[in-house]
Amino acid sequence: MSTLGYTFNTSTQTWTNTRTGESGNFTNGLIETKQNPAFKGIFDLAHDHGVKVLASIGGWSMSKHFDEVAADAGKRARFIKDIKKLINLGFDGIDVDWEYPGRTGMNFTGTQADFNNYSMLMEEIREAVGPNKLVSGCFNAIVKPNEFDWKRLDKVMDYFNMMTYDLNGGWSDKAGHNAPLFDYPNQEFEGLSLAATVDSLRKRGVNMKKVNLGGAFYGKGVICNGPAGVNVTTVKKPITIQPDGPILSAGDFDNFKVDVWDATPNYSYIVKYANAAQGWTEKWDNNAMVPYKTKGNYFLSYDNEKSVACKAQFIKDNDLAGIIVWQVYGDLIGLDAGCTTDKMPYCSGATSPLINEINRVFASSTKTCQYTSSISNNLLLNHSITLSPVPSTGKIQVLLGKLAVQTEISVYNMMGEEVHTCHIEKDAIIDLSYLKRGMYVLYTHSQIGQGYSKFILE
């Protein structure tokens, strides 16, 4: 606790934080006052391994007051004063998890004014914490036009964390995937996938090197009206869960109990209790590039090592920043083996298979996952395009191969800014001689898919 600035007076039963100036009382026995030089807290452990620790503020059930705080200069100042206290405790940055500006959230309805107020809030946070602390925010996977001023946010934020999960669940009328990599045939709503989110961000000129996609270390279980399968109609019933309260849901609370899993089991639980021995059949959706399980009329969407490897490969292929995970301990397996019971319990037999697979793909020099799909309008990186010459002095020949359809061409610089756009229906030469020297990405989009290719202008 001393590393966080806390001092304790056992005779007066009080504590003081030398970093924040705050003080208070404590009940004897609730706070450990004996210092152990061998014991390290979360900051020291993280920094010893080159990891930074951010304080995340908000969340689905704690975003009700963000709009009123962001809209009021006085409330923003008070909020930021408290943020500085967190920073002084040793955090390496702040993550604002406002879910979501301008949208309907839990117990509030956003307005268009939220987007400008969000920008002001993030600008003032950056000014308060300085240039050396990380500032990030969480964003809805559905990216709409005329909302955020992305170029403005790019000046003050380090990362845009896209929450590309919870895309289907107990609220859905069809059984669908929690976090599909790509759109898939006959899904309830188009554009709910990681690829669709990336496509929307690119079209809005977002700096893609700051984009983190969301990875789900949990599943979503629903009950179907008949034998379970993708796109099968769900059956909803009234139920009360926390923190939402009374809702109408198709969630599978039979297998994944209320107030324990709430139809949202961690990966570790799925591996242990939703397997063949319990009557579950595992399947793979080659369009969405994710697994799912069925048992009678029960449907379970989740991610496994194969699907997170594909998502990690997709992140690499699109030159994104990385991945955020909810939740970080969701894939911990083996917590009942070789465990100690010290201040910070340690289980020597524990493994994190999903995290390990993501790290393996990020570090690999070979392509891990090949994207395949049987549908024609999926947002896939399946255009086989050829650019020549590369490097080029300005004119690029685009060979579309067998693509004989109207194709939108967009060229982006390495800041994620769109610098050229046009449409072609066949092989063509595009004059880009007016652009500065450097690396660019040429991005194609048509009714049969999408693709990209890097090139250099000299």
> What are the tens digits of pLDDT across the range 332-358?
998 777 777 666 667 888 899 999 999
pLDDT at 138: 98
pLDDT at 30: 32
pLDDT at 392: 77
Q: Considering only residues 222 and 37, tell me which one the structure prediction assigns the higher pLDDT.
A: 222
Pairing of the two strands 104-105 and 6-9: unpaired
Number of folded domains in the chain? 3
Please, which pLDDT band fits residue 385 given cuts at 50, 70 and 90? Answer: low
Residue 303 is assigned to a structural domain of this protein: yes
Find, among 417, 380, 451, 420, the residue nearest to 202 by Cα: 417
For the domain that residue 302 is a member of, what is the CATH number? Answer: 3.10.50.10
Minimum mean pLDDT among 148-152, 174-178, 431-435: which range? Answer: 431-435
Distance, in Å, from the CA atom of 114 to the CA atom of 161, rounded to the nearest integer, reads: 18
Same domain, 228 and 361: yes
Across 318-327, average pLDDT: 95
Q: Inform me whether the pLDDT recorded for 287 exceeds 60.
A: yes
Same domain, 222 and 311: yes
pLDDT at 322: 97
Find, among 169, 346, 354, 337, the residue nearest to 268 by Cα: 354
Across 43-54, average pLDDT: 91
Residue 101 is assigned to a structural domain of this protein: no
Residue 93 is assigned to a structural domain of this protein: no
Residue 137 is assigned to a structural domain of this protein: no
Same domain, 353 and 396: no
Last residue of a domain, one of 337, 366, 395: 366
Residue 452 is assigned to a structural domain of this protein: yes
pLDDT at 390: 66
Dihedral through CA 301, CA 306, CA 310, CA 312, nearest 10? Answer: 100
Last residue of a domain, one of 336, 366, 396: 366
Q: Considering only residues 71 and 452, tell me which one the structure prediction assigns the higher pLDDT.
A: 71
Residue 378 is assigned to a structural domain of this protein: no
Across 406-427, average pLDDT: 80
Distance, in Å, from the CA atom of 21 to the CA atom of 18, rounded to the nearest integer, reads: 5
Residue 394 is assigned to a structural domain of this protein: yes
Q: Inform me whether the pLDDT recorded for 364 exceeds 80.
A: yes
Do the Cβ atoms of 216 and 303 come closer than 8 Å?
yes
Q: Inform me whether the pLDDT recorded for 443 exceeds 60.
A: yes
Find, among 308, 275, 298, the residue nearest to 221 by Cα: 298
Identify the domain containing residue 21 by its residue range: 1-35
Mean pLDDT across the chain: 87
Distance, in Å, from the CA atom of 331 to the CA atom of 454, rounded to the nearest integer, reads: 35
- With a CB cutoff of 8 Å and minimum separation 6, the contacts of 135 are 93, 94, 95, 96, 122, 125, 126, 129, 156, 157, 158
For the domain that residue 391 is a member of, what is the CATH number? Answer: 2.60.40.3080
Q: Inform me whether the pLDDT recorded for 37 exceeds 70.
A: no
Minimum mean pLDDT among 89-98, 116-125, 245-254, 327-336: which range? Answer: 327-336
CB-facing half-sphere around the CA of 276: CA atoms within 13 A: 2
Same domain, 234 and 333: yes
Same domain, 283 and 392: no
Same domain, 338 and 447: no
Same domain, 263 and 344: yes
Residue 418, strand partner residues: 412
Distance, in Å, from the CA atom of 458 to the CA atom of 454, rounded to the nearest integer, reads: 13
Q: Inform me whether the pLDDT recorded for 220 exceeds 80.
A: yes
Same domain, 447 and 303: no
Residue 430 is assigned to a structural domain of this protein: yes
Same domain, 320 and 403: no
Same domain, 417 and 355: no
Same domain, 407 and 348: no
Last residue of a domain, one of 366, 395, 420: 366
Do the Cβ atoms of 276 and 283 come closer than 8 Å?
no
Same domain, 222 and 360: yes
- Token pair, residue 353, equals 């298979």
